[in-house]
Every structure is written in C-alpha cells, then in structure tokens.
C-alpha cells in the first residue's frame, strides 16, 4: 500500500539556474499538492511531459529528497516515509537509470554488498540472488566488472541489485529509458510478474504506449499538478477519446488554460 498525500516540492533556484532556465522566478514548484494511492498488486503510472515533476515526486516517495509539504505513507503499518526514512528504505526500492553501479566491482560483489547494507543474512542474499540473476540472465556476467558491461547489462544488474531485499514497494523512474526492445520487454514483463506477486509498483514515463499497456491506473501530471487519475478506460471515457495520446493532449490543453499559460 502506498499513499501519497499533497506532496509539494519547491526548488530554490540559484542565480545561475535562473539564467539557465530563463526565468525571473527564484522558486520552482516542481510538485504541487500531488496525491494518489497505489494498492498492492497494482502498477500505477505517472505520465507526463519533460519537466512535469515525475522524478521529483518519485524521489520524494523514495526518501531521497524531502517534500516541503505533504506526506507519503507505506505498508500496512502506514510508515511515514518522511518521518521514518531509514525504516521506510528497508521496504521500498527506487530504480532509475540515474542510479549507477560502481564500475570497479562485479554484479555479484555489489549484490552481496547491498544485501549486507539491507541487513540480510547470507542465506537470504544467496536465495534472492539466484532468483533475480536467473530472471535477468545475469549469471553469464556476474563476475565481470561493471565497467565492461553494456548499457542493457548494467541496467539489468542495477535492477536485480535494487531488488536484493525483496521490497514490497517498487518505484521505477522511466523503466525502459535507454533500453532496446528486447531488454525493455524483459523489464516490463518482470514488473508485471512482481505485480502478480502482490507488490505495490509506481512507474513514471512520458511514453503513452507504455503507460497504456503496463499500468493498471494512470495519473497524468503536468507542471507539477496531477490533472487526472484513473484506469485507461476511465480516462478515455472521461475525455471522450479513444486513445491515450488524444486524451493526453486534451488534458494538456485544458491544464494550460487553467494555469493561464500559453502552449
């Protein structure tokens, strides 16, 4: 169970950032009262264009940054990710292509290393390793240094290692970013498998087809605000469209009108 309540994140921009972003505002509201729920056995998709606030929201959920307002509760015990972050990290996993593995080590070593940091005993580590390495075909390159792996191999190793502690909640920023169709397919298939095991999963993406295909429910985020939440079917019927891309454009246009901006 994952409950996101009114998450607001404001970045204070330095002079240099203001120049780069071409703005006079010294503050950037990257997430604006973002709320949604995800149930166990469900994949929730955060769909939005570049700069919409997807990564920011997911980082708040996974304790990497602290929101200025709002709360995130996880699990049956409703642990607050904000107040009890060390504990929360034990039952969630954050995956993204930005999280890199150290070049100098092998996937095998890193799997054990992260397992230790999660406080797992050797037996559990070995059991989870066997399962995950087999799933992603990592055994072939388990003893090769990360620096010598291809992008896809690195991504596979990174996913396996992030799941070392068999977390209940999985947060995945842009799961297919930079992967070829085959590897991307392995990843999305595995996410579906995890969903069927009863995991709570949140992914972000700007790819309509991926959201439509993979996600049980979708939240459309534009300029830091959630504009619509629902299953694909619900979104299509509410926007009176028959394809997610059309629905997205309708919602996007309406959002810009509401915010008083120009497209």
Ligand X SMILES: Nc1ncnc2c1ncn2[C@@H]1O[C@H](COP(=O)(O)OP(=O)(O)OP(=O)(O)O)[C@@H](O)[C@H]1O
Q: Given the rule CB under 8 A, which residues bind other proteins? A: 59, 62-66, 86-87, 89-90, 93-94, 98-105, 109, 113-114, 116-119, 158, 161-162
Does position 62 interact with Mg ion (CB under 5 A)? The reply is no
Minimal distance, residue 104 CB to ligand X, in Å: 28
Does position 206 interact with ligand X (CB under 6 A)? The reply is yes
> Binding Mg ion by CB under 5 A: which of 9, 31, 55, 194?
55
> Binding ligand X by CB under 6 A: which of 4, 34, 42, 48?
48
205 binds, among Mg ion, ligand X, other proteins, none (CB under 5 to 8 A by kind): none
> Binding ligand X by CB under 6 A: which of 2, 28, 203, 219?
28
Of 191 and 255, which has the nearer Cβ to other proteins? 191
13 binds, among ligand X, Mg ion, other proteins, none (CB under 5 to 8 A by kind): ligand X
Does position 175 interact with ligand X (CB under 6 A)? The reply is no
48 binds, among ligand X, Mg ion, other proteins, none (CB under 5 to 8 A by kind): ligand X
Does position 52 interact with ligand X (CB under 6 A)? The reply is yes
What is the rounded distance in angstroms from the CA atom of residue 161 to the CA atom of residue 157?
6
């Amino acid at each position: 169970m994952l409950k996101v309540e009114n998450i607001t994140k404001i970045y204070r921009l330095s002079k240099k950032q203001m120049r780069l972003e071409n703005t006079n505002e010294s503050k950037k509201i990257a997430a604006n009262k973002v709320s949604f729920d995800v149930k166990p056995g469900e994949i929730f998709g955060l769909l939005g264009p570049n700069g919409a606030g997807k990564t920011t929201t997911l980082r708040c959920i996974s304790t990497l940054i602290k929101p200025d307002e709002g709360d995130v509760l996880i699990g049956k015990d409703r642990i607050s990710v904000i107040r009890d972050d060390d504990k929360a990290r034990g039952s969630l996993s954050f995956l993204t292509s930005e999280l890199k593995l150290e070049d100098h080590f092998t996937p095998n070593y890193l799997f054990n290393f992260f397992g230790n940091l999660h406080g797992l005993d050797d037996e559990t580590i070995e059991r989870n390793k066997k399962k995950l390495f087999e799933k992603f075909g990592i055994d072939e390159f388990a003893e090769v240094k990360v620096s010598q792996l291809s992008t896809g191999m690195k991504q596979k190793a990174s996913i396996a290692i992030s799941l070392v502690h068999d977390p209940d909640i999985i947060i995945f920023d842009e799961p297919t970013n930079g992967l070829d169709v085959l590897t991307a397919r392995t990843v999305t298939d595995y996410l579906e498998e995890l969903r069927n095991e009863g995991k709570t999963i949140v992914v972000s993406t700007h790819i309509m087809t991926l959201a439509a295909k993979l996600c049980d429910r979708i939240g459309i985020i534009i300029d830091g605000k959630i504009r619509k939440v629902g299953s694909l079917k619900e979104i299509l019927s509410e926007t009176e469209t028959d394809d997610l891309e059309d629905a997205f454009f309708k919602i996007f246009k309406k959002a810009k009108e509401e915010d008083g901006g120009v497209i």
